[in-house]
């Protein structure tokens, strides 16, 4: 009898532990990192569809990524929330009911992303399918609904914070005024679009103290004297396009990332929708997370840190663009050197100095190097869905350097804009990596400072 009692007790305990483990496992595996990557891709697809400008796209990526990270970090013993670290951000409230943080995180990311785009229906289709999939895994209905309700609360807090960053106010501000100064920017063919986001320096940064915290040295003084430094820089662009080769053309096209490309056929003009430069680096972030087998919260951290770095680099870059207001190579060359010369890439609609690609790529590379290390080989397939082949890199820094020089190959930037863009982007990335602490207790770091980047 004692033996049978012992056996029954042992079986009961074993079954109890199995049920408990299964229940715990259900909660643990409810949301996989790939689901976050898929949601970020959906946000990118909608950004491309809605043709958001690169700075605005970076803002969307930042707030939606922060929403997901804040939910997860609030329920994690290692990762620390960003409340009190980002400008004017006091954090999000704790839940009052039992929730599943991973579900709430993705739903928060979705709700914020949906609120910041135009095509809400495309976001809603994704969300409906995702929620049905989660429910089919046997998630407790009450906990599931609690998680959705908490996500709604978090999203409202994030959006209220976003509502105070001056974005709305800049929607009604004046357009960029053109001048008669020979060195000032003018609209470029084929669409001759007005300058985008001339007041972007008024947008509140996430980590920088202000838009002018990092000011690059002034661009080379404008001069049409054939012996001047500026003229030499113009001819460098002219010759780069004239003497290009297949590899350089491929590099230029791979990093084009211009959502404003206009095509002209006779009297018909139509746009080709493309990913933004920030969207390209968010795609690289996804690739890095997958290669690293990053957890859900590390993936959220990677998206948040990369997006914040890109966003603040754009604010800083746009501050300089409309301060120096420098004319594009295409305008100078067509007017004074060769009226038939055309750049390989279509010139984007805003002033030349500094190079936005150089700045945001350098900042993003610093963020990703901080998380995944210096010697991180990856195959960049981000542009495959836009008809371009993959390219391989042995580090994020090398990828960012190629992105920067692609602007010379494409014929749209002088070298000072590229070199000083790299310098400023790395300074911004280094500052943000040093300022933001994602860990409750500081972990050993593979932090990369500008002094040891080669």
- Angle at Cα 72 formed by Cα 68 and Cα 76, nearest 5°? 160
Mean pLDDT across 278-291:
98
**pLDDT tier, 267 (very low <50, low <70, confident <90, very high otherwise):** low
DSSP state string for 246-262: HHHHHHHHHT---TTEE
Provide the residue ranges of all domains of the chain, joining segments of one domain with +.
Answer: 30-161, 189-452
pLDDT given for residue 136 in this prediction: 92
In this structure, are residues 280 and 381 in contact, taking their beta carbons and an 8 Å threshold?
A: no
Instruction: Please give the Cα distance from 313 to 305 (Å, whole number).
Output: 12
- Mean pLDDT over each residue of the chain, to the nearest integer: 92
For the four alpha carbons of 165, 168, 169 and 174, in that order, the dihedral sign comes to positive
pLDDT given for residue 14 in this prediction: 46
Report the 3 state secondary structure along 182-230: CCECCCCCCCCCCCCCCCHHHCCCCCCCCCCCCCCCCCCCCCCCCCCHH
Instruction: Please give the Cα distance from 21 to 27 (Å, whole number).
Output: 10
Instruction: Please give the Cα distance from 423 to 180 (Å, whole number).
Output: 31
Instruction: Please give the Cα distance from 436 to 28 (Å, whole number).
Output: 27
Mean pLDDT lowest among 172-176, 244-248, 383-387:
383-387
In this structure, are residues 188 and 349 in contact, taking their beta carbons and an 8 Å threshold?
A: yes
Question: pLDDT digits over 363-389, tens only?
Answer: 999 999 999 999 999 999 999 999 999
Report which of 321, 371, 332 is spatially closest to residue 219, judged by C-alpha positions: 321
Mean pLDDT across 201-212:
98
CB atoms near residue 224 (< 10 Å): 14
Instruction: Please give the Cα distance from 274 to 421 (Å, whole number).
Output: 23
In this structure, are residues 368 and 284 in contact, taking their beta carbons and an 8 Å threshold?
A: yes
Q: Which residues contact 24 (CB under 8 A, 6 or more apart)?
A: none
In this structure, are residues 211 and 202 in contact, taking their beta carbons and an 8 Å threshold?
A: yes
Residue pointed to by tokens 């006779």? 266
Q: Which residues contact 87 (CB under 8 A, 6 or more apart)?
A: 204, 205, 206, 207
pLDDT given for residue 442 in this prediction: 52
Mean pLDDT across 185-214:
97
Mean pLDDT lowest among 12-26, 164-178, 301-315:
12-26
pLDDT given for residue 263 in this prediction: 74
Q: Tokens for 176?
A: 């960029």
Residue 16 predicted with pLDDT over 70 = no
Q: Compute the half-sphere exposure of residue 451: CA atoms within 13 Å on the CB side of its CA.
A: 1
Q: Which CATH class is domain 189-452?
A: mainly alpha
Q: Which residues contact 350 (CB under 8 A, 6 or more apart)?
A: 185, 195, 196, 197, 318, 321, 322
Q: Residue 200: what are its φ and ψ, rounded to 5°? A: -65, -20
Q: Which CATH architecture has domain 30-161?
A: Up-down Bundle (1.20)
pTM: 0.91
Three-state secondary-structure class, residue 177: coil
Q: Which residue has the higher pLDDT, 329 or 270?
A: 329
In this structure, are residues 137 and 30 in contact, taking their beta carbons and an 8 Å threshold?
A: yes
The Cα-based distances of 421 to 47, 208, 215, 299, 362 in angstroms read: 25, 17, 10, 27, 8
Residue 12 predicted with pLDDT over 60 = no
Q: Which residues contact 48 (CB under 8 A, 6 or more apart)?
A: 259, 273, 274, 275, 276, 279
Question: pLDDT digits over 433-447, tens only?
Answer: 999 999 986 544 444
pLDDT given for residue 17 in this prediction: 42
Instruction: Please give the Cα distance from 381 to 283 (Å, whole number).
Output: 8
Using DSSP bridges, classify how beta strands 261-265 and 378-380 pair: parallel, antiparallel or unpaired: unpaired
In this structure, are residues 94 and 88 in contact, taking their beta carbons and an 8 Å threshold?
A: no
Q: Tokens for 329?
A: 């190579």
């Amino acid at each position: 009898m004692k033996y049978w009692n012992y056996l029954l007790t042992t079986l009961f305990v074993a079954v109890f532990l199995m049920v408990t483990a299964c229940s715990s496992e259900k909660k643990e595996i409810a949301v996989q990192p790939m689901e976050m990557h898929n949601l970020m891709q959906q946000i990118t697809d909608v950004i491309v569809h809605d043709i958001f400008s690169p700075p605005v796209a970076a803002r969307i990526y930042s707030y939606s990524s922060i929403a997901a990270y804040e939910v997860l970090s609030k329920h994690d013993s290692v990762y620390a929330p960003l409340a009190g670290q980002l400008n004017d951000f006091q954090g999000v409230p704790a839940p009052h009911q039992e929730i599943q943080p991973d579900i709430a995180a993705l739903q928060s990311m979705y709700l914020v992303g949906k609120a910041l785009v135009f095509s809400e229906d495309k976001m809603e289709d994704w969300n409906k399918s995702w929620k049905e999939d989660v429910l089919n895994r046997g998630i407790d209905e009450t906990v599931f609904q609690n998680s959705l309700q908490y996500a709604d609360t978090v999203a409202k807090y994030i959006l209220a914070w976003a509502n105070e960053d001056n974005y709305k106010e800049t929607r009604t501000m004046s357009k960029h005024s053109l001048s008669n100064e020979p060195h000032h920017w003018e609209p470029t063919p084929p669409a001759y679009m007005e300058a985008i986001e001339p007041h972007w320096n008024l947008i509140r940064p996430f980590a920088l103290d202000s838009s002018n915290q990092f000011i690059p040295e002034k661009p080379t003084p404008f001069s049409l004297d054939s012996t001047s430094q500026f003229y030499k820089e113009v001819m460098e662009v002219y010759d780069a396009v004239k003497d290009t080769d297949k590899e350089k053309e491929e590099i230029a096209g791979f990093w084009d990332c211009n959502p404003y490309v206009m095509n002209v056929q006779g009297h018909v003009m139509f746009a080709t929708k493309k990913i933004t430069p920030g969207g390209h680096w968010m795609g690289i972030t996804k690739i890095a997370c997958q290669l690293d087998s990053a957890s859900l919260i590390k993936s959220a951290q990677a998206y948040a840190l990369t997006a914040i770095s890109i966003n603040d680099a754009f604010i800083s870059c746009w501050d300089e663009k409309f301060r120096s207001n420098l004319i594009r190579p295409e305008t100078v060359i067509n007017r004074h050197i060769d009226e038939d010369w055309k750049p390989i890439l279509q010139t984007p609609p805003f002033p030349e100095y500094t190079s936005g690609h150089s700045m945001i790529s350098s900042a993003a590379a610093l963020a990703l190097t901080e998380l995944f290390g210096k010697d991180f080989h990856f195959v960049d397939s981000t542009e495959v869905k836009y008809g371009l082949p993959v390219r391989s890199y042995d580090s994020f820094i090398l990828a960012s350097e190629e992105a920067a020089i692609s602007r010379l190959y494409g014929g749209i930037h002088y070298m000072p804009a590229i070199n000083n863009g790299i310098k400023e982007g790395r300074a911004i990335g280094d500052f943000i990596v040093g300022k933001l602490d994602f860990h409750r207790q500081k972990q050993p770091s593979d932090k990369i400072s500008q002094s040891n980047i080669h």
